[in-house]
């Protein structure tokens, strides 16, 4: 009697091996490694065993994009943006040029990401992927340049407001008009640069004007690009994947896509296997089940379960009484001592006290009480004004007294200083105090306006009725501000309000000083 053999026992093994091969092929394809050739007999040929060809991975070219929108942005990036970056480098603006390229490359990443993904139901999923765009903008904001580039940096920051166009959508906000609005705000600072170099013919002046023109063109070309390809908002791909999956495919991990594809194939094979098993017993197909068990009998007619070792109670690990294990003592966890944060030392440059012809201003920088002792025997830094057009700029000074004498001057700026006293005569424009702490200023003449911004602790001494009558104060994000005025033979100190009460009346907002100051 001939015994009929069945191939069913090796089917699960065949399916398992197919799944493994599929996953390996997916990984090889994604990593750019060509599969080794297989001979007709199923073995690797000797020539192909050592042949692994490296090809460019899709990960490296995913940013290039293949839609008209991404190609057009590539052209914009490689011409307009790179030209503006080169001008910044020519003006020696530090890392500004490089960071600008990184910013617009991040914008390109966002455009490509949108071209590969469908519009998300919740835009929060999309905004979480904007770090390649917002990161360089943050670095530009932290960039510290020479004071000669104040207007340049402010113009660039106004320009970079335009990067938010990627989150604009109709009908709330159209992206192209949003970008065009940034042109006017950046022009405000660019026009100051143009004014400073108006009528000058040297190479520096020409390069400064090129900076202004190129900045404006960068915004104009961006608005034109958006008007053509993203008129109602950033263009997504209706047939694309989710934003999260598209971001993973564009990430720096070369195995992510392969893992996703391999898992999909594995799931499909598992589903087919489940369907096969389900078909065997579906609808009470007991004949198939009995036939399967019969095929698994041994030659002597024993059951398929014959020969299996019985598990006794003491081997059943789920029974606590047979485990015979003693409870392990809990290890004593010693909390690690967190290292103390290093004290961040204030960055101090060389002390400067000089008059600069360019800009007609006195510059006082990086002085403290030790450097003042070296510069002046009296312990007071003195500046004599000889022209009403002159201005004084005080930066990064600490615990010093500065006395300005001579005729009236144009303006005074106190920036990033601590415990600094300034005495000055009449000012034509005004005195500005910004990013400072514990500042005292005294005018022996007239000062039309004091501007205080991001400062904690300011005392302003006004010594005459004439000064009191014409002086005004503009404050923003500041606290502990006081004005000292004459009161007979003494001085009277009046606090500048920090707290206000706001009310909506007749469709407009009305603000009053809090009762704390009455």
Looking at per-residue pLDDT, the higher value among 274 and 506 belongs to: 506
pLDDT at 62: 43
pLDDT at residue 374 in the model: 84
Over the range 357-370, which residues count as b (16 or more CB within 10 Å of their CB) and which as e?
Answer: eeeebbbbbbbbee
Q: Is the pLDDT of residue 272 over 50?
A: yes
Q: Which of 122-126, 210-214, 300-304 has the lowest mean pLDDT?
A: 300-304
pLDDT at 341 over 60: no
**Residue 387 confidence (pLDDT):** 92
Share of the chain above pLDDT 90, in %: 29
Q: In 3D, which of 70, 221, 204, 94 has the Cα closest to residue 146? A: 94
Question: How much of the chain exceeds pLDDT 70, in percent?
Answer: 69
Cα separation, 316 vs 313, in Å, equals 5
Band (pLDDT 50/70/90 cuts) for residue 423 is: very high
- Which range of 114-123, 317-326, 478-487 scores highest in mean pLDDT? It is 478-487
pLDDT for 407 equals: 93
CA dist 242 → 108, 126, 128 (Å): 18, 10, 13
Choose the most confident range, by mean pLDDT, from 74-88, 181-195, 297-311, 403-417.
403-417
Place of tokens 């293949």: 66
Q: Give residue 335's pLDDT.
A: 58
Secondary structure element (H or E) that encloses residue 152, with its range: helix 150-160
Q: How far apart are the first and last CA of the chain?
A: 115
| Residue linked to tokens 């765009």 | 133
Q: Note the pLDDT of residue 484.
A: 93
On whether the CB atoms of residues 422 and 399 are closer than 8 A, the answer is: no
Distances from the Cα of 373 to the Cαs of 394, 397, 441, in angstroms? 18, 14, 21
Angstrom CA distances, 318 to 13, 50, 313, 324, 326, stand at 31, 51, 10, 12, 15
Task: Identify the band that residue 307 occupies on the pLDDT scale cut at 50, 70 and 90.
Answer: low
Task: Judge whether residue 88 has pLDDT over 60.
Answer: yes
**Which pLDDT score is estimated for 253?**
45
The residue whose two tokens read 């959508």 is 169
User: Which residues are 509's β-sheet partners?
Assistant: 504
Q: What is the DSSP string of 405-423?
A: EES-EEEEEEES-EEEEEE
**Lowest-confidence segment of 77-81, 326-330, 488-492 by average pLDDT:** 326-330
With a cut of 60, say whether residue 49 has pLDDT above it.
no
Mean pLDDT score, 160-180: 87
For the chain, the structural domain boundaries read 8-57+254-269, 66-249, 352-517
In eight-state DSSP terms, residue 396 is S
pLDDT > 50? residue 61: no
Q: Which residues contact 108 (CB under 8 A, 6 or more apart)?
A: 63, 65, 70, 73, 74, 77
Percent helix, percent strand, percent coil in the chain, to nearest 5:
45, 20, 35
Query: How large is the average pLDDT for residues 455-470?
Result: 91
pLDDT value, residue 263: 55
Higher pLDDT, 209 or 30: 209
Strand 437-443 with 418-424, pairing? parallel
Whether 168 has a pLDDT exceeding 60, the answer reads: yes
What does the pLDDT average to over 245-249? 79
pLDDT given at position 432: 96
- At 406 the pLDDT is 93
Q: What is the mean pLDDT of residues 126-138?
A: 85
8 A C-beta contact, residue 213 and residue 183: no
> Is the pLDDT score of 325 beyond 80?
no
Q: Is it the case that residue 382 has pLDDT exceeding 90? A: yes
pLDDT of the residue at 204? 86
Distances (CA, A) of 415 to 216, 332, 391, 435: 29, 53, 14, 6
Is the backbone peptide bond immediately before 145 cis, with ω within 30 degrees of 0? no
- Asked if residue 517 has pLDDT above 80, the reply is no
Question: Which pLDDT score is estimated for 258?
Answer: 46
- The pLDDT of 93-99, averaged and rounded, is 89
pLDDT, tens digit, 9 for 90 and up, residues 312-322 = 766 666 655 55
Task: Tell me how far apart the alpha carbons of residues 460 and 306 are, in angstroms, rounded to a whole number.
Answer: 101
Of 324 and 482, more confident: 482
Query: Residue 496 pLDDT > 60, yes or no?
Result: yes
CATH code for the structural domain at 352-517: 2.160.20.70
- Distances 130 to 17, 106, 125, 163, 472 between C-alpha atoms, Å: 41, 8, 10, 10, 43
Res. 257: pLDDT tops 50 = no
**Residue 81 DSSP label:** I
Range 282-302 average pLDDT: 57
List the single range of 28-42, 128-142, 148-162 with lowest mean pLDDT: 28-42
Mean pLDDT of the chain: 78
The CATH class that applies to domain 66-249 reads mainly alpha
Extract the tokens encoding 229.
Answer: 């390809």
Mean predicted confidence (pLDDT) in 444-463: 94
Q: Which of 141-155, 215-229, 244-258, 343-357 has the lowest mean pLDDT?
A: 244-258
Instruction: Write down the H helix ranges in 77-145.
Output: 82-90, 96-116, 123-127, 131-142
How far is it, in rounded angstroms, from Cα 53 to Cα 341? 50
């Amino acid at each position: 009697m001939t015994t009929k053999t069945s191939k069913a026992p090796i089917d699960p093994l065949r399916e398992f091996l197919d799944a493994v091969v599929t996953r390996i092929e997916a990984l090889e394809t994604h990593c750019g490694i060509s599969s080794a050739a297989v001979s007709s007999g199923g073995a690797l040929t000797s020539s192909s065993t050592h042949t692994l060809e490296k090809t460019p991975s899709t990960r490296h070219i995913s940013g290039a994009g293949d839609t008209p929108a991404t190609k057009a942005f590539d052209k914009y990036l490689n011409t307009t943006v790179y030209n503006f970056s080169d001008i910044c480098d020519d003006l020696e603006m530090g890392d500004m040029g490089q960071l600008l390229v990184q910013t617009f490359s991040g914008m390109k990443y966002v455009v490509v990401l949108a071209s590969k993904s469908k519009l998300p139901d919740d835009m929060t999923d999309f905004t979480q992927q904007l770090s390649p765009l917002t990161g360089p903008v943050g670095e530009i904001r932290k960039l510290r340049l020479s004071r000669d580039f104040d207007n340049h940096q402010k113009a660039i920051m106004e320009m970079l407001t335009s990067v938010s166009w990627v989150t604009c959508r109709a009908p709330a906000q159209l992206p192209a008009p949003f970008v065009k609005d940034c042109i006017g705000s950046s022009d405000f600072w660019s026009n100051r640069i143009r004014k400073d170099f108006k009528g000058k013919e040297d190479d520096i002046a020409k390069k400064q004007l090129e900076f202004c023109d190129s900045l404006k063109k960068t915004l104009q070309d961006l608005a034109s690009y958006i008007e053509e390809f993203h008129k109602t908002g950033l263009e997504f791909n209706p047939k694309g994947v989710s934003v999260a999956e598209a971001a993973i495919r564009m990430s720096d991990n070369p195995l992510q896509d392969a893992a996703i594809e391999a898992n999909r194939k594995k799931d499909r094979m598992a589903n087919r296997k489940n369907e096969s098993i389900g078909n065997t017993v579906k609808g009470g197909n007991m004949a198939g089940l009995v036939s399967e068990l019969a095929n698994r009998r041994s030659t002597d007619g024993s059951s398929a379960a014959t020969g299996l070792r019985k598990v006794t109670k003491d081997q059943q690990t789920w029974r606590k009484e047979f485990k015979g294990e003693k409870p392990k003592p809990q290890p004593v966890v010693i909390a690690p001592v967190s290292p103390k944060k290093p004290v961040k030392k204030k960055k101090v440059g060389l002390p400067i006290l000089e008059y600069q012809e360019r800009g007609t201003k006195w510059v006082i920088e990086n002085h403290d009480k030790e450097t003042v002792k070296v510069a002046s025997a009296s312990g007071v830094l003195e500046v004599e004004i000889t022209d009403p057009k002159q201005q004084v700029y005080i930066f990064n000074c600490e615990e010093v007294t500065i006395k300005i004498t001579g005729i009236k001057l144009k303006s005074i700026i106190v920036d990033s200083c601590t415990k600094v006293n300034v005495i000055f005569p009449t000012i034509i424009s005004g005195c500005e105090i910004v990013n400072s702490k514990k500042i005292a200023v005294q005018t022996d003449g007239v000062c039309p306006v004091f501007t205080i911004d991001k400062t904690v602790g300011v005392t302003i001494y006004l010594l005459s009725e004439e000064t009191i009558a014409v002086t005004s104060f503009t404050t923003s994000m500041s606290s502990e501000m006081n004005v000292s005025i004459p009161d007979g033979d003494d001085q009277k100190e009046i606090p500048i309000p920090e707290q206000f009460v706001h009310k909506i009346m007749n469709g407009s907002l009305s603000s009053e000083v809090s009762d704390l100051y009455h």
